Every structure is written in C-alpha cells, then in structure tokens.
Amino acid sequence: MKKEIQVSNRKLLAIAGLGWLFDAMDVGMLSFIIAALQKDWDLSVQQMGWIGSVNSIGMAVGALIFGLMADRVGRKSVFIITLLLFSIGSGLSALAPSLAVLLILRFIIGMGLGGELPVASTLVSESVPADMRGRVVVLLESFWAGGWLIAALISYFIIPDYGWRTAMVISAIPAIYALYLRWNLPDSAKFISVTKEKKPTVWANIASVWSRKYVRQTAVLWVLWFCVVFSYYGMFLWLPSVMVMKGFSLIKSFQYVLIMTLAQLPGYFTAAWFIEKIGRKFVLVTYLTGTAVSAYFFGSAEGLSMLILSGVFLSFFNLGAWGALYAYSPEQYPTVIRATGTGMAASFGRVGGILGPLLVGYLVARETSITTIFTIFTVSIMIGAICVLIWGKETKNQELA
C-alpha cells in the first residue's frame, strides 16, 4: 500500500510539475524576450516594464478567480482550464504584430499562470502524507527551475539567430502534451469528501479567510507574498536587461543569466530537505535573508566575478524561498477554503509583481543607479522574512484540517 502511495505521489508530482515547467519556460523566456524586443521594436524602458507588469496583472486576476473556483468546482477542472488559457495565449504571442496585442496576450497568459500555481500546490498538498507534504511541494516548485533553465537555453541558442517569435512557438507546443496528461488526473480526495456536504458560497469563503480564526495567517501570507513577488519579478524579469545596462552584449548577458539559472536547482533541493528536517519558518527566513544579501551585492557589483557569484546566490536562495512559500501557504487553511486562501494571497502578491517591473523601468528612466534599485528589493525581502519570523506559524508535520 505504501509503495502504491509513493508511485501515485510520483505520478502526481510529474504531471503537475510538467505544467509548472512549461509555465516557468514562458516566464523565464519573457525576461529574455523583453531584452530582444527593446532592440526589435525600439521600446522605451517604461514599455519594457509594462510587458512584465501586465503579465502580473493577469496573474493577480487569475489567482483570485481560479482560487475561488477551485473551492467550488474542484482542483482538477481549474488545473485544466488554467493550462488551456496559458497554452493558447502563449502560442498566439508568437504572431503578435504590435506591443498592444502582445500586452493583451500576456494578460491572458498571466491569468492561466496565476490561477494554476496556487491551485497546483493546493492539489498536491492535499494528496500526500503530512510527513512528505512540504518536501513534495518544494520538489513540485523545482520544476520551475527546470523551465527557467530550458528557457535560458532556448533564448541563448534560438533568439539571436531565429528571433523571439520562434522561441515562443517552441515554448507553447509542449504544453499541449501536459494538457493531455492532466486530463486523466484524479481530483483531490479531501476536496471530494468535504464537498459531499453543502458547499459554502464564494463570499462565505472569502469572509472565512479574513475571519478572526485565520486573520493572523492571512495577514502574514499577504505580506510575504507581496514582498517575495515584488522583488522576484522586479529583479528576475529585468536580469538580462540589467546585464546589458552593466555593459555586456545581449548574447553575453544571456550566457551569464544561464549560468545563474543553474543555481536554482540546488536551491530547491536543499530547501526540500531542510523543510521537513527543520521546518517551514526556518527555510523561509534563512532563504529570504540569503536572497536579500545576494540582491544587495548583485546590485552593487562592479566586476564580472562578483556579478556572477552574487547572481548565482540570488538564484539559489530566492527559488528555494519560493518552494517553501508554495508549501507553506496551503497549510494555513482547512480544505473548504484552502484554494481560496492561497489564491487570494497569491493574487495580492501579484500586485507586487505589477509594481516591481514598472518601478525598475521608471527608476532606470530617471537614471537611478542599479545599486539603489536592488537595495529597494533587499529591504522588501527582509520585511517578508521578519514578518514570518515574528508572526508566522510553523506547520511542519501537521495534518491538514
């Protein structure tokens, strides 16, 4: 029986992770495409910022709508709808004739992506035993690093010679296969058992998330999500462009970001080990602090060696923290409002994802130094770490309500 559970967990992890990988390919490739589009369409830095921000606007809307839907119609149905939205939008992006059309499609892609990620972590959390839950969800998140790595490889080898449109087509086609696999995935047993009773309304679920019983967890999650998403999208969507601003060619910038991306995998794997051995709060606080320190040194780095070294640690710690965040969030709520609570926190966090890229574009246009910009992200990350340290609840090995 235990062996069957392990096989089932691996299958679930593989199917959910594959969709996560393709989502990461899209977001990762977007950072390289923004740098390429600046040259192809002669974009201003403010326009470059909007490409990243409209993606986050879509993610905010998607996380809220699909998080609420997942507690009404089921995790599996939403899982399929969100990937379908992402696949269609991503494929059509390759045909975008103008910035306006691209922004509309980026919004649609963002809705699919924003809805999928919290629902996927909720489904996986509800499907594995308590003593494995944190590790499995972090391993699910590690597929994100694989997607970023593939995006970096495609961008490095394809975009300079064949253009960004070809890269977009390559990233969209495999998502159809993930959609096929996901169709036969069973829904969450916990969700099915709970919904045999009368289901609360959407508004009742929203009210429950902010009720006296859960207000502390909700407030911590909202602050944490905002700080992490604000800094991540502000830094990582601009990473290749920042390298260009520091004087490197487009191809060299892609090459160096590829090196930094490799550090994401050990970041996830170490976080997956620590999260069950020591706890969620330890991983979040430690990895967020490491991210903050790395961000400061990356922003102030002058030489190539310090730039790459700090960039490697930035990737290592930041993506490990992301894994812990997705493991931690669904554990704060009972099954009946789990997707709603996680989706609402993720949706609020995406507001940070809107502001981060826009802020960088605005500050660069005003000739603000990269050091100052990354110091802002350093402060943001530390606020998230302190919030978890003081007010966060440890959920290691706790059975889901």
CATH number at residue 335: 1.20.1250.20
CB 78 within 8 A of CB 119: yes
Task: Using alpha carbons, select from 290, 295, 285, 294 the residue that is nearest to residue 328.
Answer: 285
Query: Does some domain include residue 174?
Result: yes
Q: Say if 358 falls within a structural domain.
A: yes
Computed over every residue of the chain, the mean pLDDT equals: 83
How far is the C-alpha of 219 from the C-alpha of 213, rounded, in Å?
12
- Which pLDDT score, from 0 to 100, does residue 222 have? 97
> Does 283 map to a domain?
yes
In the prediction, which pLDDT does 1 show?
Answer: 38
167 part of a folded domain = yes
Residues of the chain with pLDDT under 70: 1-9, 174-175, 177-179, 181, 187-188, 194-198, 249-252, 397, 399-401
Establish if 227 belongs to a structural domain.
yes
- pLDDT the model gives residue 5: 39
d(CA 212, CA 194): 22
Q: Measuring CA to CA, how many Å separate 101 from each of 35, 50, 93, 283, 296?
A: 18, 13, 8, 41, 36
Q: How many domains does the chain have?
A: 1
Q: Quick one: tokens of 108?
A: 């649609």
CB burial of residue 302 (10 Å; 0-12, 13-18, 19+): exposed
Q: Does residue 81 form part of some domain?
A: yes
Sequence-separated (6 or more) residues with CB below 8 Å from residue 310: 294, 297, 298, 301
Residue 253 within any structural domain of the chain: yes
Give the per-residue pLDDT at 48. 77
- Name the residue range of residue 102's domain: 8-183+201-391
Per-residue pLDDT, 198: 63
Does residue 345 sit within a domain? yes
Q: What is the pLDDT of residue 2?
A: 41
Q: Is the dihedral of CA 251, 257, 259, 261 positive or negative?
A: negative
pLDDT at 80: 83
| 356-382 tens-digit pLDDT | 888 888 888 888 888 899 999 999 999
